[in-house]
């Protein structure tokens, strides 16, 4: 089921905004990547298959661009710019994530794009947004996860604050970007005009865990406690005989845990531990006792036992454990895909079943794989013009 069938987007985004196009593509929008003839710079980012740093073997590229089409087009060249603008006239969405001012230098600012196509929705995903005193600050992902507050609440307190795996700040921003894009398309149905969507990854990060509100109501910022939740206990990673689980026990589950844990220390029955606040104050001590209990079981047995009693506990999985989990297999979350260079592999699908079905998506595109098809067949560039652009190295 392709919910967004019929919509077309041009994806000009770099590492920071490519996930947005992936989200739109997974829901059925036709997403056309516009790459410079030398290839999207993300194709040069590792890790690579076989540790071979060639353009078709970058795993970040393959993950972020699955299902999209690839057109090469040098828009830094005047004829390329004009060609890009002629495409812009025929699409619904442009997604971009350049540092401020880059597009404008080439006469391709969001305003210019929208002048060529007033129905266009331009979605800009950046570190600090299109306005404000820090709009021009350089913003790779680590910088925005730092500035957005997520690092301050993540990691072992004895070690430096820790950013998330991959590029979480921009993934988060990209989801807001897709939402903003779709809201603007919805509005366009009503008033006939496009819009410019401005997403700042710093703000996407600062929306997490109510860090601003917590400071405002508690008078002190949340600090990092490793795996221990700020307000709840026991809510932490706990050891088992063969790995770890995460157990999260709030007010309604504490009595359930004690009932199941028949030989628990009697001190835990104290009324002071009935409420989160009391348990959180003595979290270290309580966690130690709970760990003695959880160590008696295997990860699988403990999760089954606690879930049967209605207690929220799930295993700490590695990616390969997750991929082989019966629930994940049942829901066909990974699908076989063939790529001419990467070979046959399992590709992660969209995390939503639509009318009970998993949306299908194709492999990532080879560099320029769809240039001729898209330009000539879809957008009406004449064969002669195409050959000329090709000879000039523009496509």
Partner 1 sequence: MAFLDGIRVLTFTSGVAGPNAGRLLAQSGAEVIKFESLQGGLDSFRFFSPDGDIEASPRLVEANLNVLSAQLNLKSPKALELLKELVAKSDIVLDNFRPDVMPRLGLGYEDLRKIKEDIIVIKMPGLGSDGPKAKYGSWGTTVMAYSGMTALWNHPNQPHPIGTQTVYPDYEASTFAPMIALSALLHRKRTGKGVFLDLSQGEMTAFLLGVSYLQAAVTGKDPLPQGNDRPYAAPHNAYRCQGEDRWCAIVVETEDQWHRFCDTIGRPELATDPRFATLATRRANLGALDEEIGAWTKDHTPHEAMEILQKAGVPCGAVQDGRDLFHDQHLRARGFVHEIDHLKLGHVALSDIPIKTGKKGINLPVTNSVLGQHNAHVYGQILGYSPSQIAAWQEEGVIK
Which residues inside 213-242 make contact with partner 1, applying CB under 8 A? 213-217, 220-231, 235, 237, 239
Q: Contacting partner 1 (CB under 8 A), which of 52, 156, 301, 373?
A: 156
Verify binding: residue 101, partner 1, rule CB under 8 A: no
Nearer of residues 78 and 142 to partner 1, judged by Cβ: 142
Verify binding: residue 300, partner 1, rule CB under 8 A: no
Verify binding: residue 128, partner 1, rule CB under 8 A: yes
Mapped onto helix, strand or coil, the DSSP state of residue 27 is coil
Nearer of residues 104 and 314 to partner 1, judged by Cβ: 314
Mapped onto helix, strand or coil, the DSSP state of residue 25 is helix
Q: Contacting partner 1 (CB under 8 A), which of 78, 259, 352, 366?
A: 352
Nearer of residues 313 and 394 to partner 1, judged by Cβ: 313
Least CB distance to partner 1 at residue 204 (A):
5
CB 224 within 8 A of CB 154: yes
Burial 227-255 (b: 16+ CB within 10 A, else e): ebbbebbbbbebebeeebbbbebeeebbe
Verify binding: residue 248, partner 1, rule CB under 8 A: yes
Using CA of residue 379, residue 382, residue 383, residue 385, what is the dihedral sign?
negative
Distance CA 30, CA 21 (A): 9
Verify binding: residue 49, partner 1, rule CB under 8 A: yes
The pair of three-digit structure tokens given for residue 391, joined into one six-digit string: 């000879």
Size of the site for partner 1 (CB under 8 A): 154
Nearer of residues 27 and 72 to partner 1, judged by Cβ: 27
Q: What is the pattern of x (binds partner 1, CB under 8 A) and - over residues 195-214?
A: xxxxxx-xxx-xxxxxxxxx
The DSSP secondary structure of 85-102, one letter per residue, reads HHHHTT-SEEEE-PPTTH
Least CB distance to partner 1 at residue 272 (A):
15
* C-alpha separations of 55 from 50, 62, 281, 365, 370 in Å: 13, 10, 53, 11, 16
The pair of three-digit structure tokens given for residue 319, joined into one six-digit string: 């990616």
Burial class, 86, CB count within 10 angstroms (exposed 0-12 / middle 13-18 / buried 19+): middle
Verify binding: residue 288, partner 1, rule CB under 8 A: no
Between helix 78-88 and helix 383-391 the angle, nearest 10°, is: 140
Verify binding: residue 69, partner 1, rule CB under 8 A: no
Verify binding: residue 115, partner 1, rule CB under 8 A: no
Nearer of residues 186 and 262 to partner 1, judged by Cβ: 186
Verify binding: residue 149, partner 1, rule CB under 8 A: yes
Verify binding: residue 262, partner 1, rule CB under 8 A: no
Verify binding: residue 295, partner 1, rule CB under 8 A: no
Nearer of residues 105 and 387 to partner 1, judged by Cβ: 105
Residues 306-345 that bind partner 1 (CB under 8 A): 307, 310-323, 325-328, 330-331, 333-334, 342-343, 345
Q: Binding segment for partner 1 among 58-66, 101-109, 259-267, 381-389 (CB under 8 A)? A: 58-66
Distance CA 393, CA 391 (A): 5
Which residues have a Cβ under 8 Å from the Cβ of 290 and sit 6 or more positions away? 234, 238, 247
């Amino acid at each position: 089921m392709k919910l967004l069938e019929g919509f077309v987007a041009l994806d000009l985004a770099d590492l920071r905004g490519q996930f947005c196009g992936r989200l739109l593509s997974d829901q059925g929008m036709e997403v056309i990547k516009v790459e410079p003839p030398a290839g999207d710079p993300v194709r040069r980012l590792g890790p690579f298959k076989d540790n071979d740093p060639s353009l078709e073997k970058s795993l970040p590229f393959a993950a972020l661009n699955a299902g999209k089409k690839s057109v090469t087009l040098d828009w830094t060249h005047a004829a390329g710019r004009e060609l890009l603008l002629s495409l812009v006239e025929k699409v619904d969405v442009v997604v971009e994530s350049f540092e401020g001012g880059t597009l404008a230098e080439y006469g391709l600012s969001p305003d210019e794009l929208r002048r060529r196509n007033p129905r266009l929705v331009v979605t800009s995903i950046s570190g600090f947004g299109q306005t404000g005193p820090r709009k021009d600050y350089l913003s790779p992902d680590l910088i925005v996860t730092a500035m957005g507050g997520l690092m301050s609440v993540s990691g072992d307190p004895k070690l430096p604050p820790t950013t998330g795996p991959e590029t979480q700040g921009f993934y988060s921003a990209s989801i807001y970007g897709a939402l903003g894009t779709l809201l603007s398309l919805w509005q366009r149905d009503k008033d006939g005009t496009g819009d410019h969507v401005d997403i700042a990854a710093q703000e996407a990060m600062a929306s997490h865990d109510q860090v601003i509100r917590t400071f405002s109501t508690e008078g002190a910022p949340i600090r990092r406690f490793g795996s221990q939740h700020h307000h709840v206990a026991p809510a932490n990673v706990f050891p088992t005989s063969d790995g770890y689980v995460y157990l999260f026990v709030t007010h309604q589950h504490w009595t359930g845990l004690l009932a199941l844990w028949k030989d628990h220390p009697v001190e835990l029955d104290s009324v002071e531990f009935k409420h989160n606040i009391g348990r959180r104050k003595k979290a270290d001590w309580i966690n130690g006792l709970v760990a003695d209990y959880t160590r008696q079981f295997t990860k699988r047995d403990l999760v089954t036992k606690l879930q049967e009693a209605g207690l929220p506990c799930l295993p700490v999985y590695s990616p390969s454990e997750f991929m082989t989990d019966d629930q994940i297999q049942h829901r066909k979350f990974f699908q076989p895909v063939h790529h001419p260079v990467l070979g046959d592999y399992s590709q992660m699908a969209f995390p939503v079943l639509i009318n009970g079905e998993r949306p299908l998506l194709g492999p990532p595109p080879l560099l320029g794989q769809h240039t001729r098809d898209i330009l000539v067949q879809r957008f009406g560039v004449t064969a002669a013009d195409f050959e000329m652009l090709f000879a000039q190295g523009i496509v």
